[in-house]
Amino acid sequence: MKLGAVILAGGRGTRFWPLSRRIRPKQVIDLTGAGTLLAQTLARLDGRVEPELRLVVTGPDMEAAVRAESGGATVVVEPSARNTLPAIAWGVWEAARRGADIVLVLPSDHHIARPEALGAALDEAVRVAASGALVTLGIKPTRAETGFGWIEPGADGRVARFIEKPPQAVANELFSGGKHLWNAGMFVFRVDSFRAALAAHSPATAGALAALDAGMALAEAWSATDATSIDYAVMERHNRVSVVPLDCGWSDVGSWPALDEVLPAAPWGAGVCKEMVELNSAGNLVHAEGKLVALVGISDLIVVDTPDALLVARREDAQRLREVIAALDARGLARYT
Amino acid sequence: MKLGAVILAGGRGTRFWPLSRRIRPKQVIDLTGAGTLLAQTLARLDGRVEPELRLVVTGPDMEAAVRAESGGATVVVEPSARNTLPAIAWGVWEAARRGADIVLVLPSDHHIARPEALGAALDEAVRVAASGALVTLGIKPTRAETGFGWIEPGADGRVARFIEKPPQAVANELFSGGKHLWNAGMFVFRVDSFRAALAAHSPATAGALAALDAGMALAEAWSATDATSIDYAVMERHNRVSVVPLDCGWSDVGSWPALDEVLPAAPWGAGVCKEMVELNSAGNLVHAEGKLVALVGISDLIVVDTPDALLVARREDAQRLREVIAALDARGLARYT
């Protein structure tokens, strides 16, 4: 059976402003100095999925930046953002058209510290999927996170249930129980299993794929899909969903403070710069490619330098970058967003 | 009587790192967005001192940067730094050689908010100096500053005494008395009065000038001068020293926090940048020419961006820049200092 991959690269990623922009979102910036997350995601497919069977699905704003980081993969551009189900359905359809029987669906903007562990889990997931199940990879959790969906494994590797972003008390229980896993949006399934599941749970989207089969233009078929997530529409409803556990140093790198999870710790904090000189500084997140950075008496700040914009923010205010972007757009400074 | 000017532009200015560097010290950086302090100092001479009679005295490291900001003035380069007396003596000698009878001696790295008030005081100082006195301009103080020398005015515009950097209690008295003035290193005198004073108080330096008259090379004469300040060697000892009060919005812009004195106050602080977007920020000093700066929850910081180095420091740590520079030099990173 031939493996294809659908890489979801349509995310906006405002939380890494000013390094990330509308036309250059999180998946195509180099957060760690080791290349972009998209390029790293594709590199992890080497030896597993041929370049011609790699489909990168993105949006029109960021198409140029995504193409530049996609190597030999095929980049397809959504007519409009309609959540993950249409993106995955179209990507699977394109991969199948190119000869794929089994498809890996992977986000393009996550960090994996131990790629070999991911590889082993993907191999296992392919084996399970070959039997007809839709497979989700379940990340071994490292904290009682309320921002992720959780997976409760059942008998025989089946998913017993999906738990949407839980309140803190529930997250604490899930984490301390040691049994539940995080849903990271990584899926493996046979093309025919997926299309059957789609027919059962999202007939409109299944119908759009059938229309593509019959020669309808994408733009037309696209508007007939269900604008929803694969989790909500399919994974949470299907009767044959399995989970393969994964412990690979995963991080979704959700905001500047998450750089702590993916970069080595230094006395002054973590980050990327050419040289660092610091006095009495700790807990900072720095991104200033090619520059000397001097920190004097600075704690728990986010410092991000780019050619046209400089951010200095309290670490605890990382979520307020949305407000900064909104203020810029409102002031006619959208060229910075 | 023909006016000449000696502009002292040899200062190192480590306190504005990373904007100021060994080869580009404080007097030749644009701190305010209104041009360099040296260029502003020279512009204030327009209509008062012909360009050919303007002497800019500087050091070898910074010669190129000083020349670039000196317009039609003559730049002369000290063989070595020997404090203000030799620099002024040589500058006066060069100005006299070009035809000056009366010389204004001015630092190149001070900010003047109201140049017209300085102009009026210089005119008055020239009148007083024409009678033979050495004249110092005395700044009307705005705080009980311990870092400056103070002047006690006496009868008939004479200086009763100079008071070296006083302890805080004394500074408080001097300030609250409302009579004393700050010594800002701005002098006006006739060339012949100055040379007579030099002969009386620093015969070695007077002898060096006589040797220059007789054709000795500067490098040789230079080493015969007294390496001391004009204040200590001449002004504090001479019997005909007058003071002209000056209230012109003067600042010596001694460090980043002093930008508050010379730039308009904004809710987030003061500084220079292309655009500012801020949330919940106050009391900061920013220098990021040409850039959008975003501050989120940031108070009392110094943020300075340059093409190769970025400084983020607590305002109260402004004096620790010396340590940063020492650390860079020690780590073989003198290219940044």
Task: Say what the pLDDT of residue B14 is.
Answer: 86
Mean pLDDT of A67-88: 97
User: Mean pLDDT in chain A?
Assistant: 97
How far is it, in rounded angstroms, from Cα B57 to Cα B75?
A: 6
Q: What is the C-alpha to C-alpha distance for residues B159 and A173, in angstroms, rounded to an integer?
A: 81
Distance of alpha carbon B25 from alpha carbon B38, whole angstroms: 10
B291-306 pLDDT, tens digit each: 999 999 999 999 999 9
B328 to chain A: which residues are within 8 Å by CB?
277, 292
pLDDT digits (tens, 9 = 90+) for A94-153: 999 999 999 999 999 999 999 999 999 999 999 999 999 999 999 999 999 999 999 999
Q: Do A296 and B336 touch (CB under 8 A)?
A: no
Q: Do residues B64 and B24 share a domain?
A: yes
Up-side HSE of residue A168: CA atoms within 13 Å toward CB?
0
Same domain, A204 and A80: yes
Residues B166 and B262 in one domain: no
Interface test with A, best of B15, B272, B292, B322 (most A CBs within 10 A): B292
Give SS3 for B96. Answer: helix
| Alpha-carbon distance B181 to nearest alpha carbon in chain A (angstroms) | 35
DSSP per-residue codes, B16-58: GTTTSBTTB-GGGS-SSSS--HHHHHHHTTTTTS-GGGEEEEE
pLDDT value of residue B52: 96
Cβ contacts of B151 within 8 Å, gap of 6 or more = B136, B138, B159, B161, B162, B163, B180, B181, B182, B183, B243
Q: Taking a contact as any Cβ pair under 8 Å apart, which residues of chain B between 301 and 330 contact chain A? A: 301, 303, 305, 308-314, 316-317, 320-321, 323-324, 327-328
The rounded distance, in Å, linking the Cα atoms of A119 and A135 is: 15
End position of a domain, from candidates B185, B217, B251: B251
The alpha carbon of residue B57 is apart from the nearest alpha carbon of chain A, in Å, by 32
The answer to whether the beta carbons of residues B104 and B52 sit under 8 Å apart is no
DSSP state of A141: P
Percent of chain B with pLDDT over 90: 97
- Together in a domain, A78 and A157: yes
One domain, residues B151 and B41: yes
Reply yes or no on whether the pLDDT at A284 is more than 80: yes
Cα–Cα distance for residue pair B288/B27, rounded to 1 Å = 18
Residue contact B323–A279, C-beta within 8 A: yes
- What number is the average pLDDT over the span B10-26? 92
Average pLDDT over all residues of chain B: 97
Q: Is the pLDDT of residue B12 over 90?
A: no
Asked if residue A267 and residue A119 are part of one domain, the reply reads: no
Alpha helices in B139-281 (DSSP H): 168-177, 191-201, 203-213, 218-222, 230, 259-262
Clarify whether residues B215 and B157 are in a common domain: yes
pLDDT tens for B95-137 read 999 999 999 999 999 999 999 999 999 999 999 999 999 999 9
**DSSP tag of B155:** G
Domain boundary among A251, A282, A308: A251
Q: In terms of residues, how long is chain A?
A: 337
Query: A304 and A193 share a domain?
Result: no
pLDDT at A29 over 80: yes
Helix, coil or strand: residue B214: coil
Query: Residue A289's Cα: distance from chain center in Å?
Result: 24
| Domain-ending residue, one of B222, B251, B280 | B251
Q: Are residues A241 and A270 in the same domain?
A: no
CA atoms within 13 A on the CB side of B138: 25
The pLDDT assigned to A13 comes to 75
Q: How far apart are CA A28 and CA B116, in angstroms?
A: 55
- Where do we find the tokens 């730094």? B81
A43 and A115 both lie in a single domain? yes
Chain B positions in Cβ-Cβ contact with residue A291 (cut-off 8 Å)? 308-310
Counting residues of chain A whose pLDDT is more than 70, the rounded percentage is 100
Q: What is the CATH number of the domain that holds A24?
A: 3.90.550.10
> How many other C-beta atoms lie within 10 A of the C-beta of residue A157?
15
pLDDT at B13 over 80: no
Of residues A291, A305, A327, nearest to B277 (C-beta): A327
- Write down the pLDDT at residue B1: 87
Q: Rounded to whole angstroms, how far apart are CA atoms B176 and A272?
A: 51
Residue B331 belongs to domain spanning: 256-336
What whole-number distance in Å separates Cα of residue A149 and Cα of residue A153? Answer: 13
Count up the domains in chain A and report the number. Answer: 2
Q: Are residues B147 and B199 in the same domain?
A: yes
Distance CA B306, CA A87 (A): 43
The pLDDT, as a whole number, for residue A287 is: 97
Closest CA to B231 of B246, B221, B218, B241: B241
Q: How far is CA A329 from the centre of its chain?
A: 26
pLDDT, mean of residues A24-45: 96
pLDDT digits (tens, 9 = 90+) for A225-276: 999 999 999 999 999 999 999 999 999 999 999 999 899 999 999 999 999 9
Is B118 in the same domain as B173?
A: yes
Mean of the pLDDT values across residues B65-81?
A: 97
One-letter amino acid for residue A114 of the chain:
R
Instruction: Answer for the pair B12, B22: CB distance below 8 angstroms, yes or no.
Output: yes
Q: For B158-195, what is each residue's pLDDT tens digit?
A: 999 999 999 999 999 999 999 999 999 999 999 999 99
Substitution target in A256, A285, A296 with the highest count of B β-carbons within 10 Å is: A296
Give the predicted TM-score (pTM) of the model: 0.91
Chain A residues near residue B323 by CB distance under 8 angstroms: 279
